[in-house]
Amino acid sequence: MTKTAAIIGGGVIGGGWAARFLLNGWNVRVFDPDPQAERKIGEVLDNARRSLPGLSDVPLPDEGKLGFHDTLGEAVRGAVWIQESVPEQLELKRATYAGIEAACDPDAIIGSSTSGFKPSELQQGRADPGRIVVAHPFNPVYLLPLVELVTTPANPAPVVERASALLSSLGLYPLHLKHEIDAHVADRFLEAVWREALWLVKDGIATTGEIDEAIRMGFGLRWAQMGLFETYRVAGGEAGMRHFMAQFGPALKWPWTKLMDVPEFTDDLVDLIAGQSDAQSGAHGIRDLERIRDNNLVSILRGLKYHDQGAGRVLREHDARLRAQGPLAGRLDDIGDLSRPILTLARAVPIDWTDYNGHMTESRYLDAFACATDRFMEIIGCDDAYIAAGGSYFTAETHIRHLDETHAGARIEVRTQMLLGEGKKLHLFHSMYEGDRLLATGEHFLLHVSLETRRPCAPSAGIETAMARIAAAQANLPYPDGAGHAIRRPR
């Protein structure tokens, strides 16, 4: 049964939450009195549909249904999770919770996107404070996995466990903070850096652009994979963190920072910073800047995922959950109807798979077909364990036809027909679709080999049997158009 989430407040953060839930298969009900809320959330969703599915190498669930409601009560009724993202005014938030409590289901969890208030402040005066938690995300919510889950002793353990499990099921990383503090953890770091940056601009030391370059060209890249303490451990060399602290600890007593002071926000300072920011980024509209940000984040996150580091590990774990539940799970006996071409790939096209022409680059078609071949091998029994034992398939010849354009965010499927599967020979024909539209075909001839001798040899009896089953089931399929073709010389 599809779960339902309610989003209260449809600004940048609320819209990001709506996208995160929707694209992970939840139905979403939105309440926001802003007459522009539907347009704003629609624009956020357009960006999310283009970028989020490309983080996964397996298909996301079918998108849920989005509804906008005129009253708070209509929006929260029937919701499993209610995410409050109204402006940072404590009395407004408390009034919102009173309205939520009057209409929501008794076991619904209420999460707050607040970046500053403690959960105990939000729970104060509530009839059932134990179901209110802080679930503070980071923008863009649909791409960045961190969510600070802050609780108090009023939150029963089952509520905390359920909240953590629900957030994890969305591909988020719930960092559970058991001790509340103003601004939680991550924003306290950001506040410290922000204060220093304001002083550097005010004192004429650096411009907004120069400060941003210092971050993105230097420590920002290190923090994405290692964080603060592990970065400094590496900086300590072979002697590690103890040496680093002994070497650089005395610098903490030097008057380098102004963390306890805040420059006065005079009109002159605001004009100075706004002017520099306009000069730095003003050539782009906000939607353009969001797409630039998303393009880069997808590439960085996919790189981290490949190396199983930082936020990439969260993505890899989410893929594993989706794969176990999705259409690409199981072996031969789980496939169902073998008389039709077999689904061997289902995924979205990542942003970094596209080229200067705005469509999928040539090498990525081969990448997709190679993944489809790997899945077919797994189906017939040539899985990780089989390969580790010394048997595998090597591709001897490939022919790809590019029939239509494929763009970033497109949900593609590959279906595979086995043209030959006997002895050491395996001949596959892959067809790539977006919906009913044929995008490309890939014909691949493979030989079974011994990884010890690196020479062709017969596969196991189990693989022979699996190929025979598929051959018998697909015997009546027509020979596919394009199979056996080569590039013809012009007359």
Gap between the Cα atoms of 41 and 69, Å rounded: 14
Q: Determine the distance from the C-alpha atom of residue 469 to the mean position of all C-alpha atoms in its chain, rounded to a whole number.
A: 38
**Do the annotations mark residue 58 as ligand-binding?**
no
Nearest to 118 by CA among 186, 191, 179: 179
Question: Read out DSSP for 57-75?
Answer: SSPPPPP--EEE-SSHHHH
Q: Name 289's Cβ contacts closer than 8 Å, sequence gap at least 6.
A: 281
Question: Read out DSSP for 304-366?
Answer: HHHTT-THHHHHHHHHHHHHHHSTT-S-GGGS--TTSPEEEEEEEPPGGGB-TTSSB-HHHHH
Sheet holding 81-84, edge to edge: 66-68, 27-31, 4-8, 81-84, 109-112, 132-137, 146-150, 173-177
Element (H, E) at 417: strand 411-422
- Are 23 and 63 within 8 A, CB to CB? yes
**Do the annotations mark residue 326 as ligand-binding?**
no
**Do the annotations mark residue 12 as ligand-binding?**
yes
3-class secondary-structure state, position 10: coil
Tokens 């179901």 sit on residue? 131
**Do the annotations mark residue 82 as ligand-binding?**
no
**Do the annotations mark residue 10 as ligand-binding?**
yes
Gap between the Cα atoms of 327 and 59, Å rounded: 8
Gap between the Cα atoms of 104 and 240, Å rounded: 52
- Are 440 and 383 within 8 A, CB to CB? no
Annotate 228-263 with three-state secondary structure: HHHHHHHHCHHHHHHHHHHHHHHHHHCCCCCCCCCC
Beta strands (DSSP E) in 423-481 are 425-434, 437-450, 455-456
Nearest to 451 by CA among 373, 386, 405, 375: 386
- Are 173 and 146 within 8 A, CB to CB? yes
Gap between the Cα atoms of 448 and 393, Å rounded: 4
Integer angstrom CA distances of residue 365 from 14, 60, 189, 283, 477: 36, 20, 42, 35, 24
What secondary structure letter does DSSP report for 131?
A: G
What burial letters (b/e) apply to 38-64, b meaning 16+ CB within 10 Å? eebbeebbebbbbbbbbbbbbbbeebb
**Do the annotations mark residue 400 as ligand-binding?**
no
Neighbours of 180 (CB within 10 A): 15
Q: Detail the residues annotated as belonging to a binding site.
A: 9-14
Binding residues for NAD(+): 9-14
